[in-house]
């Protein structure tokens, strides 16, 4: 009897591991078998919220389970990120956010309630949405180069509106100012819901914002689109040059995607990422997102993790240039 028990005891951990692995595999195969909650760290109507709802509708149809979007806005997406970071790692609580969670907040805040690299695992780089540099119709510049010349001729005369201190809009403009040695005063607002009306009303002469918030005003001639902050031009406005044509490598187009709490089974993360990759290629999804100035991507979480590292390097420089700090 004594000779049997040591061997049996040694086998027990292996048996438990095998059972756990089998359970994980079965879990991924049956996932999801209940509604999936997707937390958005921003207000309804913004790009992360819009992307979550467009993709969520299709995933609900594919999975036969509800994809429930829950908004938890506040502190540049931090409240939503903290909530998901502390959620059960079972694949039923996900985070839809932009790259600020990993690439901006760690450099902007002295202390965060989550560890971006440790607590949240990239699941899918779902989409990218470039920002357009728009000026009020009264600004005597009809091209990006003319705007640069105008600002240089009158240092400090012009201002720009942003979605708030530390927002992509703010950091993008500060990096642009530093690269071209421009003096433009920053006027922070609480989101594009305030900054774009301020532009249209003439309170500020220029802003960076997404295509959907600017398109109708540009069509009516109230604002002019002079540049885009992605590496390449947009299909929606092919005549508008990319800033990268003037500043090589300039790319501050926000990216959006899904994260899961650390510890979520790998099989479930891969399944979600693969399904999102298929969903974003559906013709009606492509048509809907493109009309909103959103480029659907569906890149795997592993690839997004690499891109987030390069984003972090670029945004760390922008934060340093801006002098922005939130304690």
Where along the chain do its domains lie? 31-129+254-322, 131-245
For residue 135 the two structure tokens come to 């000026």
Start-to-end Cα distance in the chain = 65
For residue 217 the two structure tokens come to 């005003």
Name the one residue in this structure whose structure tokens are 């995607």.
257
| Digitized pLDDT (tens) for each residue of the chain, 327 residues in all | 455 445 544 555 555 545 445 544 555 678 999 999 999 988 787 788 989 999 999 999 999 999 999 999 878 889 999 999 999 999 999 999 998 888 889 988 889 999 988 999 999 999 999 999 999 999 999 999 999 999 999 999 999 999 888 889 999 999 999 999 999 999 999 888 899 999 999 999 999 998 888 999 999 999 999 999 999 999 888 999 999 999 999 999 999 999 999 999 999 999 999 999 999 999 999 999 988 888 999 999 999 899 888 888 888 888 899 887 776
Residue 263 CB coordination number (10 Å): 10
For residue 179 the two structure tokens come to 């690269």
Task: State which fold the 31-129+254-322 domain adopts.
Answer: D-Maltodextrin-Binding Protein; domain 2 (3.40.190)
Task: State which fold the 131-245 domain adopts.
Answer: D-Maltodextrin-Binding Protein; domain 2 (3.40.190)
Distance CA 69, CA 303 (A): 25
Distance CA 51, CA 296 (A): 9
**Which sign does the torsion angle of CA 59, 60, 63, 65 carry?**
positive
Tell me the three state secondary structure of residue 77.
helix
The reply to whether domains 31-129+254-322 and 131-245 share a CATH topology is yes
Alpha-helical (H) ranges within 137-255 are: 144-153, 168-180, 192-200, 211-219
Distance CA 38, CA 91 (A): 10
Do 160 and 185 form a contact (C-beta atoms < 8 A)? Answer: yes
Distance CA 163, CA 147 (A): 21
Do 205 and 159 form a contact (C-beta atoms < 8 A)? Answer: yes
């Amino acid at each position: 009897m004594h000779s049997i028990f040591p061997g049996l005891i040694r086998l027990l951990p292996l048996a438990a591991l095998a059972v756990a692995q089998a359970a994980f595999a079965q879990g991924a195969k049956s996932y999801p078998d209940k509604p999936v909650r997707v937390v958005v760290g921003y207000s309804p109507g913004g790009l992360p919220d819009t992307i979550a709802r467009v993709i969520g509708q299709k995933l609900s149809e594919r999975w036969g389970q509800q994809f429930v979007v829950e908004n938890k806005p506040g502190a540049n997406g931090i409240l939503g990120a903290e909530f998901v970071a502390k959620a059960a790692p079972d694949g039923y609580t996900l985070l839809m956010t932009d790259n600020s969670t990993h690439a901006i907040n760690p450099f902007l805040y002295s202390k965060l309630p989550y560890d971006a690299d440790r607590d949240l695992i990239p699941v899918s780089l779902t989409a990218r949405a470039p920002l357009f540099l728009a000026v009020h119709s009264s600004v005597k510049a009809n091209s990006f180069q003319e705007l640069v010349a105008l600002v240089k001729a009158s240092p400090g005369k012009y201002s720009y509106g942003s979605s708030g201190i530390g927002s992509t809009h703010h950091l993008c403009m500060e990096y642009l100012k530093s690269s071209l040695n421009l003096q433009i005063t920053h006027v922070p607002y609480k989101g594009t819901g305030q900054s774009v009306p301020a532009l249209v009303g003439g309170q500020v002469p220029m802003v960076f914002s997404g295509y959907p918030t600017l398109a109708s005003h540009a069509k009516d001639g109230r604002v002019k689109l002079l540049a885009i902050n992605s590496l390449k031009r947009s299909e929606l406005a092919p005549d508008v040059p990319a800033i990268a044509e003037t500043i090589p490598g300039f790319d501050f187009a926000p990216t959006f995607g899904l994260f899961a709490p650390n510890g979520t089974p790998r099989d479930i993360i891969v399944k979600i990422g693969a399904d999102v990759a298929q969903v974003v290629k559906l013709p009606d999804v492509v048509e809907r997102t493109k009309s909103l100035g959103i480029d659907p991507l569906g890149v795997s979480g592993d690839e997004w993790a690499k891109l987030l590292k390069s984003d972090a390097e670029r945004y760390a420089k922008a934060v340093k240039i801006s002098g922005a700090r939130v304690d």
